[in-house]
Structure 1
């Protein structure tokens, strides 16, 4: 049986591509050095210390089918966090727990993208570069993906307003990630207000991926749903967040989606038939994590220390931009694939070519001249890896220490 064309046209996922690229290359290490793997965005800070105790206390829940939308306690915890963080009054029936936000970012398109928009084939707007599930979601609903450059020229955020009105009029969903993966840019309140007004003018929905919202340099990023609510346009936004980055619980696969009652009802309805709800012990851990903030602040301080290290080591590299949120550096290079190979061969530092996170449009891939570097190791390991990276990729083009 033939594979549906909408999926066969998807490029290979980033990490298998990286393994192929580096196959046969031995890491170049000096005595006492270990390979530095800075590719995957998997936090390595400590989990909250209450996780094991809460899991053990609720272990019997593995014998029961979990509630599809989330336990009342978990939904109440998320609602409370939204109130403390954003000043939002979101009742539990406007929230659904997710088995990781990737599930939600995909299934929300299935639940909310119409088959036609204004009598035309719908479009889904995707920043370029982007988190790859956005493109798979567009393919699944057979919408046209419109890849919009998010480059230094646009502040590393997509300028959706620059699209032709004909495209915007058939747009069903626009994805936005802030803080952005991979560039670390933050959509400020003015940007969000303009985007929400654009969505209202052209009648589309914003799927706001806010998984990195609690990792920031100077001030907490604004939330899209909070901004939309202040404009009286909360039905234009659904937000997605996760405990993976906030609480260093990537393996828990726990997140949530929140939005208007109508949008969440549709997402819940799809989940009832085709979803995989979180186990009850995982929901209990999640509830505890959303109610507790000290572990989040401690982890954020560790990232802020690594921001300072990156600024010091790489600050005078031409084109370097200090990360504003999240934990990725988006570093300029002549060619990301060549840089990744050279860096692995000469310094034993593994990074991800930016082209693997982008799509070529009109012969141009906006990620080709970048590498993504994950600041997930501890401060000492991060500094060592960045010094090795700088020595291999930049020292011939910079003047002294950064």
Structure 2
């Protein structure tokens, strides 16, 4: 067995490959496929961000892993303005090459390995488990993180708003979990990439002083511009929190050359400095959410959680694959809930990331 095969052998089967036959069925619909399976943005990159990228296109030198001072200013300012965080310094922030990269490689970059434990929600983004596997660490899914056995637990993932369920953790839940993690010396990393997309709840960051007590010790928050600014193609994200943790990550990432491109850094400065385009994009998603939610309910679905994020967590109280097949017959492709853990085997995840025209087509077919 080759070394490469040995590494890939630690990973589960890539789940999306299982969806291909259903995608073919949906694509055969006379009106074409409505792909609501993947949360990839479809709306244009805001013009002010494109202009910032173009203006920085002549960037012949290497960018820095820590980012420009302007980028760090933009991140710290956004954290204070949008998250309510206090006294955020440059040492409390670090740009990353998209949030998925960070999630997949964080356990390795933290030096975790056999005997160490990574914990994540029972229903969760699959890359939390992938990251643990890559590091050869153990992993465990939880319902309530404060009921975990802290022995050997080194990394605790939170995800609020949740992918896939859209569940939002309350300020009280976050505060209790932060206190528990600190008591047991466990690093808490909160994936908050959907924080600006709250519909029926107002998501709160672990960096909010009411949650963390004004100290960032032992906590890190992950944020992405993919959804809120349509920048999935730019690979633009950052982490904020414990300066000691981020300082170590900075040194490791310098050695690894894990740097965001200079034009992307300039684009992020523009994106974080403008709230108007985020409000406009929220309105687009809200309209699509309302239309799809009403259509699914009328079609006999039940929707749970989904108070935030870019998905509807829906069920017909049957196998998720039966539901995927049913909708594929209508030309609609969705993600089966068991992609996110066995507990999701009777749900599907319906993304709001399709054009208005395609959403309208889905609504018509569900009628």
Note whether the superposition's TM-score is higher than 0.5.
yes
Counterpart position of 2:233 = 251
Structure 1 residues 160 and 322: CA distance shift in structure 2, 3 A = closer
Could you list the per-position Cα deviations for residues 195-225 of structure 1 after superposition, in whole angstroms to 9, with x for gaps in the alignment?
1111122220111111111111145410012
Is the contact between residue 26 and residue 332 of structure 2 (CA under 8 Å) also seen in structure 1? Answer: no
Is the contact between residue 222 and residue 240 of structure 2 (CA under 8 Å) also seen in structure 1? Answer: yes
Q: Can you give the 5+ residue segments of structure 1 that lack an aligned partner in the other structure?
A: 149-157, 359-364, 392-402
CA RMSD of aligned residues (A): 2.2
Counterpart position of 2:320 = 336
Counterpart position of 1:130 = 124
Query: Does the alignment pair 1:95 with 2:93?
Result: yes
Counterpart position of 1:378 = 355
Could you list the per-position Cα deviations for residues 257-286 of structure 1 after superposition, in whole angstroms to 9, with x for gaps in the alignment?
111110001110110111421111111111
1-structure distance, mates of 2:168, 2:23: 35
SS in 1 for 2:168: coil
SS in 2 for 1:81: helix
Query: Does the alignment pair 1:13 with 2:14?
Result: yes
The one of 237, 258, 263 aligned to 1:276: 258
Shift of 1:24: 5.9
Shift of 1:288: 0.6
Is the contact between residue 305 and residue 313 of structure 2 (CA under 8 Å) also seen in structure 1? Answer: no
2-structure distance, mates of 1:127, 1:386: 31
2-structure distance, mates of 1:299, 1:256: 20
SS in 2 for 1:225: coil
Structure 1 residues 309 and 128: CA distance shift in structure 2, 3 A = same
Structure 1 residues 380 and 301: CA distance shift in structure 2, 3 A = same
Could you list the per-position Cα deviations for residues 141-189 of structure 1 after superposition, in whole angstroms to 9, with x for gaps in the alignment?
22211022xxxxxxxxx312233xxx22321111111111011111110
Counting matched residue pairs gives 363
Residues 3-402 of structure 1 mapped to structure 2, 5 A cutoff: 7-19=8-20, 21-22=21-22, 25=25, 27=27, 29-30=29-30, 33-61=31-59, 63-88=60-85, 89-115=87-113, 121-148=115-142, 158-163=143-148, 167-218=149-200, 220-227=202-209, 230-315=212-297, 317=300, 319-321=302-304, 323-333=306-316, 334-344=318-328, 346-358=329-341, 365-388=342-365, 390=366
SS in 1 for 2:349: strand
Shift of 1:234: 1.8
1-structure distance, mates of 2:204, 2:271: 21
Is the contact between residue 216 and residue 304 of structure 1 (CA under 8 Å) also seen in structure 2? Answer: no
Shift of 1:138: 0.7
Could you list the per-position Cα deviations for residues 214-255 of structure 1 after superposition, in whole angstroms to 9, with x for gaps in the alignment?
111145410012257642552121111111011011100010
Structure 1 residues 113 and 92: CA distance shift in structure 2, 3 A = same
Instruction: Return 293-302 or 232-241, whichever deviates more.
Output: 232-241
Q: Can you give the 5+ residue segments of structure 2 that lack an aligned partner in the other structure?
A: none
Large movers: runs of 4+ above 6 Å: none
1-structure distance, mates of 2:14, 2:113: 27
2-structure distance, mates of 1:228, 1:138: 30
Is the contact between residue 226 and residue 236 of structure 2 (CA under 8 Å) also seen in structure 1? Answer: yes
Q: TM-score, normalised by structure 1?
A: 0.84
Is the contact between residue 66 and residue 279 of structure 1 (CA under 8 Å) also seen in structure 2? Answer: yes
Structure 1 residues 197 and 113: CA distance shift in structure 2, 3 A = farther
Could you list the per-position Cα deviations for residues 3-51 of structure 1 after superposition, in whole angstroms to 9, with x for gaps in the alignment?
57674242212222211x4376464535xx2210111111122311113
